[in-house]
A and B are shown apart, each in its own frame.
Chain A
């Protein structure tokens, strides 16, 4: 067991034994993750915040059902996803059908966009505010099935298995959706990456 998991297990045991206040401490490292999961599903800041509060309260109420087979973060993410899905069903929006029933077809072009000269992309380009805004918009516009996987894996940095567990889909499906989401974003953002001039090395220092 990793140290962090052991600390968490200790906290959880104490909370269940009556030290309720420690729940604040248990949840603090994950409050960002819960919010972003729900923002990815509900696509609205106010709804996401409200749902995040509900999800956190639920996780407190059902804490005794956490068994430690999964990581606490994965378990909590599952609760957040369920809360988001419940709200979508209630809202009876068009997104309702899309969340469960979309499957990946072969349609769509999942090839990346070539950059004619990556040397044109300075490190500063990544610091630009417009690029962050463009990225946020591009993520919001991903089809739901791709966005959900992308957010868990690349924003919250769950691994492939944890993403698969939290979403209730197979590892293979996670990989396909993740690949497509990343390629769609790459394609969408290339124009923003190309706009400034001075020659520099790649962000990762790859010799060009």
Chain B
């Protein structure tokens, strides 16, 4: 069976996550070898995911960590704030 582009697009996310079955993976790969459009869509989607996971894209507010640990230190100091016993 020869895959159409549309069929490849439906599986892009699972293909990236490597959760398609071996046979489908092989068919997709065969399609990608000769289809520049699908290759470009796959690469661009992957690039977006790489960029998403890059720490510089979603940054924490300045001082977030310091404020969090200061608040936590206060909580820990109060003697009766032991973790609850079950």
Q: Which A residues have a C-beta under 8 Å from some C-beta of B? A: 15-16, 20-21, 23-24, 27-28, 31-32, 35-36, 39, 45, 49, 52-53, 56-57, 60-65, 111-115, 117-118, 121, 126, 131-132, 135-136, 139, 150, 154-155, 157, 160, 175, 178-179, 182-183, 185-186, 189-190, 193, 202-204, 206, 208
B14 within 8 A of A: yes
CA distance A45 to B52 in the complex (A): 18
Among A63, A157, A186, the residue within 8 A (CB) of B48 is A186
Question: Is residue B67 within 8 Å, beta carbon to beta carbon, of the partner chain?
Answer: yes
Which residues on A sit within 8 Å (CB–CB) of B9? 111-112, 183
* Chain B residues close to A by CB (< 8 Å): 6, 9-10, 12-14, 16-17, 19, 36-37, 39-41, 43-58, 60-61, 64-65, 67-69, 71-73, 75-76, 81-86
Q: Are B58 and A182 in contact (CB under 8 A)?
A: no
Contact partners of A64 in chain B: CB under 8 A: 83-86
A61-B81, A111-B6 are known contacts. Are A31 and B64 too (CB-CB below 8 A)? Answer: yes
Dominant SS at the B interface? helix
Bound-state CA distance A175–B43 (Å) is 19
With A126-B50, A178-B13 known as contacts, the answer to whether A183 contacts B45 (CB < 8 A) is yes
Binding site of A, secondary structure by majority: helix, strand, loop or mixed?
A: helix
Once the chains are docked, how many angstroms separate the CA of A24 from the CA of B54?
Answer: 24
A24–B16 Cα distance when bound, in Å, is 35
> In the complex, what residues of B have CB within 8 A of residue A31's CB?
60, 64-65, 68
Whether B83 and A136, one on each chain, are in contact in the complex, defined by CB atoms closer than 8 angstroms, is no
Further 15 A-B residue pairs, CB within 8 A, beyond A118-B39, A150-B52: A20-B82, A31-B65, A32-B60, A35-B61, A49-B67, A52-B64, A53-B71, A115-B44, A118-B40, A131-B51, A157-B53, A175-B13, A183-B9, A189-B48, A203-B50
